[in-house]
Structure 1
Amino acid sequence: MLAGLALGVGVSVALTAPALAQAKIQIGCTATSDCASAMVAVDEGIFKKHGLDVEMTPIAINSNIPAAILSNSIQVGGPTSTVFLQAVDGGLDLVAIAGASVMNTTSNTAIAAFVRNGLTIKEPKDFVGKKVGAPGLNAFLHVLFVKWLVEKGVDPKSVNFVEVTFPTMADIIKSGGVDAVLTAEPFVTRMTNAGLGSVGARYGAELGRTDPIIFYAASRDWAEKNAAIVKKFREAIAEAAPIVNSDREKASASIAKFTKQPLELVKATPPNQSEPNLKPENLSWWIDVMSSQKMLQSKLVTAKLVLN
């Protein structure tokens, strides 16, 4: 009887242990507020409430995120729409699993081409021949800037683009390593306050779009094998998003913690709008823009890009 009781207890523990164990996920994002919903979900215990053990991993350049996902050093990443689409176009089997941030009036105004001291940029054609740093070639800010140049009648090939990470922008602008950087708040305010230069163009505001900036993506294989985890992830992000959009204190604290930016500086700039719902048609504009810039070689089907 004792042996049977011991066996029963053993079976019970074996059956309940997996249910009690939390699924572990590494989420990789760059040092911006776009993944604020995940940051808040970590700090406010929302992921844990949904049975997920999540850790945020900083990624220096957004274009490195797809490779990090496929190497399994992270399971979920926050690529920009452009980085994601180009990765899929290049044959990487990635799928979007939830929305992160979208463009709106506030976020568009926060985007800028910041110009070093000694240069004056009065109009788009003044960027011709200049060396411009972007936080990831073919990433969100770069593609958006190229779109703006084209609309203003400037040939993007006349501008020399190089990669510069967000944390190193101030030093590179100060040293004159580049003439301008494509950036956003709070980096614009930080460099302005340091007397490193001035805003040359608010190109995001001039374009005035409302499309996705960043969304959460995973490998299709991982997402399909972990459907239950993806469901919990989506529920947690949906719960955290309203906090990002309405509670500046909590959102700023989480953003400052992850990005290593001063809290007061982060508080001075509203985070990008968090939108957890991502639909396939939300990617159509980006596909059109990237196709016009000859960044895509195949015809992408939007229905296959977002996990059902």
Structure 2
Amino acid sequence: MRKWWIGLAAAAGMALSGSAHAQKILIGCTATTDCASAMVAADEGIFKKHGLDAEMLLIGINSNIPAAVLSNSIQIGGPTSTVFLQSVDGGLDLVAIAGASIMNKTSNDAIAAFVRNGVEIRDAKDFVGKKVGAPGLGAFLHVLFRKWLMEKGVDPKSVNFVEVTFPTMNDVLKSGTVDAVLTAEPFVARMTAAGTGYVGARYGAELARTEPIIFYAASRDWAEKNPDIVKKFRAAIAEAAPLVNTDRDKAGAAISKFTKQPLELVKIAPPNYSEPVLKSEQLAWWIDVMGQQKMLQSKLDLGKLILK
């Protein structure tokens, strides 16, 4: 049984209920800027405008999101592309309902393998034998880093990966629990300012991809039974996404509020680019990469991964 089948997010199970004013949904995401469109939609009243009473729930590890969705602890989650695909491959009946974030130059430049002081890492081969913390095994940053290692001629199996949540990365590095972490802004800037270590590799920038990072997903059963809610959710995300991409003040305030990160830290770097439209062919590259890493056991049907 795969790891993401266990460790459900600590969320109160909430039954979907209609009201005279809005319909209740709980949305689960990790402490990154990838779900910024949902954060802005909640903070700016856009969900309410579209008839939804939506609450955001902070989840520590991305790989816990599929199980939380299937248990109805949350109705909609923001899994990374890799976590979603591995979950579907493992038999979980999930479906993507809207896009959240995609890779672009800004987001790729923000990604880093951050190394603690006292450890010398300057090249891919230097990661061999090191303990590296990832915010979810099988999640976006982990799979992307493994792809980078493979392109550099390094076997990912030679690196010892462990799960570390974003908020605890600075502490585990300082304690020496891990040698490096796979992270992104604003955590890179925060750990640099704290004098914890340095950037060992900008592997996102080197790969320079444009595929989806995170998208919003639900159980197929819930989504098919609640088409009106899905339609309203999509409309709200479509309205919020341009604000994420153009209004640093509103995006920063919403991200800071949800992630519990200081606003001045959040505003150091722009949030990952929000793209509400998701196409099945955008997932083809991820499927190929995960196939190379032997993470998938079946042939996924691209036509069934996104709710029509």
TM-score bracket, normalised by the shorter chain, equals: over 0.9
What's 2:182 paired with? 182
Q: Within 5 Å, give how 1:276-295 maps onto structure 2.
A: 276-295=276-295
Partners of 2:268 and 2:171 in 1: CA distance: 22
Instruction: For 1:101 and 1:275, locate their aligned partners in 2 and report how far apart those are by CA, in whole Å.
Output: 5
1:119–1:19 Cα change, 3 Å = closer
Deviations 1:138-177 (A, max 9, x none): 1000000000000000010100000000011000000100
Amino acid in structure 2 at the alignment position of 1:265: L
Structure 1 or 2, whichever has the larger Rg, is 1
Which residue matches 1:91? Answer: 91
State the distance in 2 between where 1:196 and 1:19 align: 49
What does the per-residue CA deviation read over 1:177-199, in whole Å, with 9 as the maximum and x for residues that have no partner?
Answer: 00000000000000000000000
Find the counterpart in structure 2 of residue 298 from structure 1: 298
Which residue in the other structure is 2:156 paired with? 156
Secondary structure of the corresponding residue to residue 182 of structure 2: strand
1: CA distance, partners of 2:21 / 2:92: 31
Secondary structure, in 3 states, of the residue corresponding to 2:141? helix
Number of aligned residues: 291
Question: What SS does the aligned partner of 1:274 have?
Answer: coil
In the alignment, does 2:228 pair up with 1:228?
yes
Cα deviation for residue 120 of structure 1 reads: 1.6
**SS class of match (1:85):** helix
After the TM superposition, which residues 60-79 of structure 1 pair with which residues of structure 2 at under 5 Å, given as runs? Answer: 60-79=60-79
Partner Cα distance (1:109, 1:120) in 2: 22
In structure 1, the residue matched to 2:260 is 260
Query: Alpha-carbon deviation of 1:22?
Result: 1.1
Scaled by the length of structure 2, the TM-score of the pair is 0.94
Q: TM-score normalised to the size of structure 1?
A: 0.94
Task: Tell me the equivalent position of 2:57.
Answer: 57
Q: Residue in 1 aligned with 2:115? A: 115
Q: Which residues of structure 2 form unaligned runs of 5+? A: 1-17
Residue 126 of structure 2 aligns to a residue whose secondary structure is helix
Rounded to whole Å, the distance in 2 between the matches of 1:43 and 1:123 is: 41
Deviation of residue 121 (structure 1)? 1.2
Deviation per CA, 1:45-73: give whole Å up to 9, x if none. 10001000000000000000000001101
Report the 3-state secondary structure (helix = DSSP H, G, I; strand = E; otherwise coil) of the residue aligned with 1:306. Answer: coil
Structure 2 residue 191 is matched with structure 1 residue 191 = yes
Unaligned runs of 5+ in 1: 1-17
Cα distance in 2, alignment partners of residues 19 and 151 from structure 1: 53
Q: Is 2:216 the counterpart of 1:216?
A: yes
Shift of 1:19: 7.2
Structure 1 runs (4+) deviating above 2 angstroms are: 18-21
SS of the equivalent of 2:95 reads strand
2:9 matched residue in structure 1: none
Q: SS of the counterpart of 1:183? A: strand
Q: CA deviation at 1:20?
A: 2.7
Q: Secondary structure at the match of 1:109?
A: helix
Q: Percent identity?
A: 79
Give the Cα separation in 2 of the matches to 1:40 and 1:97: 18
Aligned to 1:142: 142
Q: Partner amino acid for 1:297? A: Q
